[in-house]
A and B are shown apart, each in its own frame.
Chain A
Amino acid sequence: MPAYPFSAIVGQDDLKTALMLAAIDPGIGGVLAMGDRGTGKTTAIRALAGLLPPQPVVNNCAFRCDPAAPMADCPNRSARKGKALRATEEPAPVVNLPLGATEDRVLGALDLEQALVHGEMRFEPGLLARAHRGFLYVDEVNLLDDYLVDILLDVAASGINTVEREGLSVTHPARFVLVGSGNPEEGDLRPQLLDRFGLSVDVRTPADIATRVQIIKHRDAFDQDMDGFAAAWRGKDAALSQSIVRAQQRLADTARPDAMVEKAAELCLALGSDGLRGELTLIRAARALASLEAADTIADSHLISVAPFVLGHRLRKDPLDETGAAARIQRALDEVF
């Protein structure tokens, strides 16, 4: 069953842009999409998988190692010491973390089959290993149990998963882009987890009829003939995928004028957002956007475009205060630019 094509998603431009930016530069730190039910959050995030450019992965590596920079103590590497690492191109993974997942399933555990049949203690990697160098998606992230949130916070901060149990001692890299979605009416996000997300998008149900009609028609066409619909949009998806690859290549060469750093700092000061993560993410996201638009340097327009994504969830606030984040950001933007 083919997935719904990314380029066939009508509207939701903010969410699509935020996901593309996170795909271009995983260092931006993930995307949080909060909004009403049935607005296509999940569809967009699942569709992203079809867009991600393939990446080289060391053959038979359970930890999805990059041949250019394999983990120093990766068991696979030590096994083939001295030999050149062989790799194949694989699509970047989009791994789904279900709400009720057990710790074993997420972190990894003893491989029972190997232990029972061969008497061998082997580690069976969990979801975190499978999401390495890709995306980890949590639907209804605001309902995620605290023990899973703790795991995510720990691993997302360090990029490393350490398992010490059942006589196993395994450390493997787990760097992933965390993508979460949920309905704010059903609960709030823990502040620490909120802070982990680089970008946040407020997903609204489109109000104008033309857009809604278009969405229904596309979805209906997809339901009537999935393969045909997917094939019809394959070209557009491929073009988007190409633009991500090109943006990634340009990323390092996109200039960052000092004036932009100052503006980013001013913006954060004007909004009173805590810490430096806001500024850093502003610059990273603006650079990713500039590369996507094939610009040589980061310009005001890029900062202005990404500011709502970066700062929307970082405003210092009483958790119960809700004076429109968007309005406050707009005011600060007017002040600075």
Chain B
Amino acid sequence: MPAAPRSASRAPGASRTASPGASHGGADARPRPRLEDIYAAGLESWARAERIAALLAVDPRGLGGVHVIGGASYPRTAWLGGLHALFPTDTPAITLPAPCTDDTLIGGIALDRSLAAGSLVAEPGLLARADGGLLTACLAERMEPARAALIAGAMDDGLVRVERAGHPRTDRAAFALLLLDSGEPGEPPPPPSVTDRVAFAHTFRVVPSRCASSFETEPGDILAARRRLASITAEESAIEAIAQAATQLGCGSLRAPLFVLRAARAAAALDGRATVSDTDLAEAASLVLAHRSAPPPDAAPEPPPEPDPPQADSETEADPSEPDRSDPGTLEDQLIAAVESAALAQALETLATAVPTATSNASNAGRSGEAARKQDNGRPDRPVPRARMRKGRIDLLATLRTAAPFQTLRSQQRPSEAGTGPALQLRASDLRVKTYRHRTETSVIFLVDASGSSALNRMGEAKGAIEYLLSDCYSRRDHVALIAVRGAVPDLLLAPTRALTRVRRALSDLPSGGTTPLAGGLSLAAETVERERRAGRTPFLVILSDGRGNVAINGSTERDIATADLETAARHLAAQGAAALFFDTSRRPNLRAQALAGKLGAQYRHLSHTSAQTLSRTVRTAIGSR
């Protein structure tokens, strides 16, 4: 393990507490990673996390926040506590509940006070209350794009505008955002509109708790750094190097280089330098760019020689105020090397702490029933009279609106109440109940068998048929996912998306030939079905295959295992209960495909019996008839 020597030397110094790694007792199935590797990686990760916290505390507004990946764990809790402690005590800390209305977020009407006062009393939302502090969004991976857009808008301006004519209000809302993302493999990441607006991302893995010691940075250091921050200068060459490095690492967004610059400033302020040094830049680049760098679409230019490992930890270096430029290449090369070594270190850390997935199952507990989360969480629809709907929450605003026109009349009818009674006279018939519109979005999952046996038959026609179906999906605005079954392992070519041009591109690039890991394809489909359900969409499966699976899930090509796996996978998928259509792509209708369709509970069609139009009609009626 190449990363071990450097950090392992630090591990003994930190081993103050006892109970060595008892938390990983149950992991017997695989060769267990060495304990010192786990400690070393844990310490390294913690040092990185602490540095991120310190930099954020120095410039919370400029750096935007942190994308915190990993389920609830001791290190995560300790880090959040440590981060908050770095801020002055009167700093607001607001937690955004996972289900919350727009009114809660941007501000609405304080009903109790409005009713008491007889006039509308506005109430600031959570964004405004987080002004000058930290806003924590739990379950960020479930954040809806609409809510993300509101938060992103507030982050751009540092303001929330409440668009109520008559009471247009603008509240200050300059906050740093902590996106708590459980980071489960099956879940999509939080909306990119918010992740792009926070400088850092850090993954908390389950590590021995002793690695998460208290911060070395003191709140006093932060205050001093904040005072210095405005006067820290950056040379023009530094900005150029940042721009170069970000571009070469494939960070298109211009926020990335800006974050590097600000993080470098914060680092310089924290370490008491007046000018941003190359070390600051390297550190900032590795913290900001490592998780953003996307491999360029084509073969990447060979990165500059081997990355020097100790680039990232600045505290061990002796503050080179006049760096030697000639030796390790230009500044941007150094930055790129720093980022790449950081990315490498993270990858190694993942390996080192590759504790069996039991941990992720543990954090899964209490998740059941999530599928039903949409129950009162859709797009608000018109409120309905309570007489028509007994269940549901009272919509106070709508109730007031209904009652309002009759107030004069009612107080005339019962004048005695006017003086002493409530300012507002409500009748049962005024009550309105909130309703939510659940757009039943459909997600069409294509499972395409592109293996050799299928290719021999009718791959071209299958592709044509899918293209035809795609234009249908476009007009219905379905989400579409594409699973390709060929070669050794099936491949989720495209996670569900509405950008259908991407589907089309993926499809036309799809090569065919090779073996048929159909069993794996079906279980991948089952996972996708489950994930789509959780996202509140109705999955619909379209399978194009000849039904001849010949690779088992573990990659074996033994016929018996492959067949058994196929049976199991088919039963598992059928148990998900998603509506499915099976198009047989073999030359003639074949029994194996029919049997498989039967096991899947899918409607069976043979492709040759189906022209493009009837194909599309078949799918449409199948989707419509559910």
Residues of chain A at the chain B interface (Cβ within 8 Å): 1, 36-40, 42, 46, 62, 95-96, 98-103, 105, 108-113, 115-117, 119, 121, 124-127, 129-130, 139-140, 143, 145-147, 166-167, 183-188, 190, 205, 207, 209, 212-213, 215-217, 219-220, 223-224, 318-320, 322
Contact = CB atoms under 8 A, between A and B. Distances in A.
Contact of B165 (A62, A98, A216): A62
Contacts of B236: 213, 217
A186 B498 contact: yes
A152 to B, nearest CB: 15
5 contacts: A98-B150, A100-B146, A213-B236, A213-B243, A216-B239
B41 to A, nearest CB: 32
A124 B149 contact: no
Nearest to A121: B405
A37 B499 contact: no
A216 B281 CA distance: 15
Contacts, number: 186
A98 B149 contact: yes
Nearest to A215: B254
Contact of B163 (A39, A40, A130): A130
B165 A126 contact: yes
Interface of B: 62, 102, 106, 118-120, 144-147, 149-150, 152-153, 156-159, 161, 163-166, 168, 192-193, 196, 230, 234, 236, 239-240, 242-244, 246-247, 252-258, 261-262, 379-380, 382, 397, 400-402, 404-405, 407-408, 423-424, 437, 439, 467, 470-471, 474-475, 477, 497-505
Contacts of B243: 209, 212-213, 216
Chain B contact surface mostly: helix
Contacts of A167: 405
Contacts of B120: 112-113
Contacts of B165: 62, 108, 124-126, 129-130
A127 B163 contact: yes
Contact of A36 (B119, B252, B257, B437): B252
A109 B401 contact: yes
A124 B167 CA distance: 10
B118 A184 contact: no
A116 B504 CA distance: 56
A15 B500 CA distance: 25
B446 to A, nearest CB: 14
A209 B240 CA distance: 7
Contact of A224 (B106, B230, B437): B230
Contacts of A145: 146, 379, 439
B401 A166 contact: yes
Contact of A318 (B149, B405, B437, B471): B471
A213 B404 CA distance: 58
Given A98-B146, A184-B499, 15 more contacts: A1-B157, A40-B254, A62-B165, A95-B163, A98-B153, A100-B150, A145-B379, A145-B439, A187-B498, A212-B247, A212-B257, A213-B240, A319-B474, A320-B501, A322-B505
Contact of B397 (A37, A98, A112, A140): A112
Contacts of A62: 165
Nearest to B402: A166
- Smallest CB-CB A-B distances: 5 pairs: A38-B253, A115-B404, A119-B408, A100-B146, A99-B146
A116 B145 contact: no
B419 to A, nearest CB: 16
A209 B149 contact: no
Contacts of A205: 252-254
Contacts of A39: 252-254
Given A100-B147, A110-B404, A117-B118, A37 B239 contact: no
A98 to B, nearest CB: 6
